[in-house]
Amino acid sequence: MPETIIAANWKMNKATAEAMEFARGLKKALLQKPVAATIIVAPSFTSLAAVAAELNNSPVRLSAQNMHAVEKGAFTGEISGAMLKDAGCRYCIIGHSERRTLFGEKDSFINAKIAAALSYDLRPIFCIGETLAEREANATFSVISRQLKEGLNNIPAGDMKHIVVAYEPVWAIGTGKTATPEQAQEAHIFIRNLLGEIYGKSIADAVSIIYGGSVTANNIGVLMAQKDINGALVGSASLDLSSFLNIINFK
């Protein structure tokens, strides 16, 4: 059975003091009222070590928002998997649509990052999804297929148990628009079936496929009711602790 995962992607928000305060509150809440899902937070790079310390001895896992594909070198402003591991990360978001659209990251580079993350025992949260123009051109499935196949190129079947796939329709990220539960499920089952073609059904059925795109406490329940949606990658609604707690305690 796929693991249920709810991850908070804070993007370029929260300086260290605010991030630590949130982490303390989240840890306290989950120790008092545990949840069945795996809960992940992804702060800015500058807050990783401090948040890791706050989350020590808690069920919350730490993720980075991005990483480079090589261990070290002349890459000003970048950060490596080794550095993230040293800071306490267990996960890393890779291929987020903002990295693709704003920073021009290609599928081949994302593939190299996934391989690098796995080599450092970091679990990739591998993001894929179509733009509004691509959806309106009926290209959703061809885009997802290309991103998935090229992003997982030469990734061994045995590593799939460490990879989380996040479907995030670009047109729904930060817009207030959310894919309907039926649209999201349609994309998720397509992804799972495609993984089955690549790796086999038993491996595909065990992969956690989570949804990202204007997830809130108001829509998390209907999204999670879909058979192939195994969690959520939450953006703006994860910045407020009470909002995020309402999401992870969905019914």
Q: What is the pLDDT of residues 7-22, one digit of tens each?
A: 999 999 999 999 999 9
Domain ranges in the chain are: 5-248
Tell me the whole-structure pTM to 2 decimals.
Answer: 0.96
What's residue 251's pLDDT? 75
Query: Does 176 have pLDDT greater than 90?
Result: no
Predicted confidence (pLDDT) per residue in 61-113, tens digit:
999 999 999 999 999 999 999 999 999 999 999 999 999 999 999 999 999 99
SS3 state of residue 37: coil
Q: Quickly state the pLDDT bin for 179 (edges 50, 70, 90).
A: confident
Q: What is the dihedral of CA 187, 189, 191, 196, to 10 degrees?
A: -170
Mean pLDDT to the nearest integer, 130-142: 92
pLDDT at 69: 98
User: Residues 96, 98, 130, 188: which is the catalytic one?
Assistant: 96
137-175 pLDDT, tens per residue?
A: 999 999 999 999 999 999 999 999 999 999 999 877 767
Region 110-118: mean pLDDT is: 98
Q: How many helices (H) and strands (E) does the chain have?
A: 11, 8
pLDDT category of residue 132 using cuts at 50, 70 and 90: confident
SS3 92: strand
Q: Is 96 a catalytic residue?
A: yes
Asked whether residue 177 carries a pLDDT value surpassing 90, the answer given is: no
pLDDT digits (tens, 9 = 90+) for 205-233: 999 999 998 899 999 999 999 999 999 99
* Catalytic residue flag (residue 197): no
Average pLDDT over the chain, rounded to whole?
A: 96
Q: Where are the alpha helices (DSSP H) in the chain?
A: 16-32, 48-54, 81-87, 97-103, 107-119, 132-136, 140-151, 181-199, 201-206, 220-224, 241-248
Among the four given CATH numbers 1.10.3720.10, 3.60.15.10, 3.40.50.300, 3.20.20.70, the one describing domain 5-248: 3.20.20.70
- Which one from 54, 105, 130, 168 is the annotated catalytic residue? 168
Judge whether residue 189 has pLDDT over 90.
yes
Q: Which CB contacts under 8 angstroms, 24+ apart, belong to 144-149?
A: 144/187, 144/190, 144/191, 144/194, 145/194, 146/107, 147/95, 147/107, 147/110, 148/191, 148/194, 148/195, 149/194, 149/198
The whole-number pLDDT of residue 173 equals 72
